[in-house]
Amino acid sequence: MRLRSTVTHVPTHRDRTGLERQLLRWSRLAPLLKRPPRTASRLQRRLNRAADIADLRELGRRRTPRPVFDYVDGGAGDEIAMARAVAAFDRIEFRPRVLRDVSTVDTTTTLLGRSSSLPLAFSPTGYTRMMHAAGEIAVASVAARGGIPYTLSTVGTTTPERLAATVPAGRRWFQLYVWNDRARSRALVERAADAGFDVLVLTVDVPVGGGRWRDVRSGLVIPPELTLRTFVEGALHPRWLFDFLTTEPPTFATLESTGPSSVEEMARTMFDPSVEFDDIAWCREMWHGPIVVKGVQDPSDAIRLAEIGVDGIVLSNHGGRQLDRAATPLELLPDVVDAVGDRLDVLLDGGVRSGADVVAAVALGAKAVMVGRAYLYGLMAGGEPGVQRAFDILAADVRRTMQLLGVRQISELSRDFVRLRD
């Protein structure tokens, strides 16, 4: 008895190049056209397609009114300092080691006396709920899940008490601008301490507000006003406008409702331009945890702060938002680390857009980096899920870069693995 073959013969022919081809059949094409099951929302799928922080920036630009986006994306003056901070990381040249077992890597580090899952902290940012109604709560929630510190700004749109009550887990730092009214500054610091914040970040590079021409040209005021121009911008971004009109209006949460209408006006009328090195003792008297001074831009200032006994410094030009053409933090880093790196934690911010940037800064001597714009792009792109995507992108890139360098743990990173090209 002869068995019948179940194999279907598919006619083939050779084309002019000699390649054997077969007729295109629907049975072969159909499986390729099947759409994968949708297990996430449309927004989440869009966020998942963001490969890097630049993709989140573009998505945030499309979903946010122009004045709001420019507030995040812009810098002072001609934005030279901001551009240089980003470009400095383009000068990084890695020197990987091969034939190392990097099947697992450990990204944890010790930061100001406590463990952090990454050499990374979320920077303080002002008026965060203008970018998305979820604001600081969303950012702090992602930081808590990710095991890194989050820093609440003096000019944030959420109070220390509300943040602590809503996001009780995680590590919270508090950023202070010293006000002309020192009693109010003290009261605010005491509120942060009572709410469980464990590090005070004293920002010292804002004696006056920087000239941010993008904000001037866009007519940005705080809170945003519904003029014809802003209404049209909002109508072009209906999700942002809906959130703005149906949630609590964003305000400077630690100030009275009749406060200044811009950060520049606030710096001019409320911040104390007379703050000096001697005022660190005043901070130490009212704050019993670690003190970090943010805005250091010269090795001599770093040395003096180490002698005073602060616990950490942040090399920062305020993201290029204060003095244009100011020193580039990454280029300052090696000299500052050589001068004071054994006496305090040296952090860095400005221009960090990838996990590779994080690894490069740590290899050059930074204890950790702080990022602001990177997570704000995610916040504008999609609220808390967008911030989570920004964190995931940075964390994955840190691990990948370490593996490609042949490094198994953060403590192994050194200048042997990196240099700044001329």
Confidence of residue 419 (pLDDT cuts 50, 70, 90): very high
Query: How much is the mean pLDDT over the chain?
Result: 91
pLDDT for residue 258: 47
Q: Which fold does the domain 43-414 belong to in CATH?
A: TIM Barrel (3.20.20)
- 394-399 average pLDDT score: 98
CA-to-CA distance for 314 and 345, rounded, in angstroms?
9
Closest CA to 53 of 352, 353, 305: 353
Query: Is pLDDT at 260 greater than 90 in this prediction?
Result: no
Give the pLDDT of residue 409: 97
Tens of pLDDT along 67-100?
999 999 999 999 999 999 999 999 999 999 999 9
Q: How confident is the model at residue 252 (pLDDT cuts 50, 70, 90)?
A: confident
User: Is residue 401 classed exposed, middle or buried when 0-12, 13-18 and 19+ CB atoms within 10 A define those classes?
Assistant: buried
- Give the global pTM: 0.91
Do strands 109-111 and 114-116 pair parallel, antiparallel, or not at all (unpaired)?
Answer: antiparallel
37: pLDDT strictly greater than 70: no
Percent over 90 (pLDDT), the chain: 72
**Residue pLDDT, tens place only, 204-235:** 999 988 999 998 888 777 666 666 677 678 77
Q: Please list, in sequence order, all residues whose beta carbon lies within 8 angstroms of the beta carbon of residue 421, skipping any fewer than 6 positions away.
A: 91, 92, 93
Average pLDDT over residues 29-36: 71
The secondary structure of 167-208 as a DSSP string is: --SS-EEEEEPPBSSHHHHHHHHHHHHHTT--EEEEE-S-SS
* Average pLDDT estimate for 373-391: 98
Residues catalogued as catalytic: 318
Nearest alpha carbon to residue 81 among 278, 350, 369: 350
pLDDT at 3: 52
Dump pLDDT digits (tens) for 264-322. 666 666 788 999 999 999 999 999 999 999 999 999 999 999 999 999 999 999 999 99
Mean pLDDT of 107-127: 97
40 pLDDT exceeds 50?
yes
Quickly count: other Cβ atoms within 10 Å of residue 416's Cβ: 11
Lowest mean pLDDT among 238-242, 277-281, 352-356, 395-399: 238-242
**Torsions phi, psi of 365, nearest 5?**
120, -10
Q: Of 292, 308, 240, whose CA–CA distance to 123 is shortest?
A: 292
**376, pLDDT greater than 80:** yes
The predicted model gives 25-42 an average pLDDT of 74
Q: What is the pLDDT, as a whole number, of residue 139?
A: 98
Continuous H helices in 25-103:
26-29, 42-48, 53-63, 66-73, 80-90
List the domain boundaries for the chain.
43-414
Query: For residue 149, is pLDDT > 60?
Result: yes
Please say if the pLDDT value at position 343 is more than 90.
yes
pLDDT reported for residue 262: 60
Please state, in angstroms and rounded to a whole number, the distance separating the CA atoms of residues 226 and 184.
32
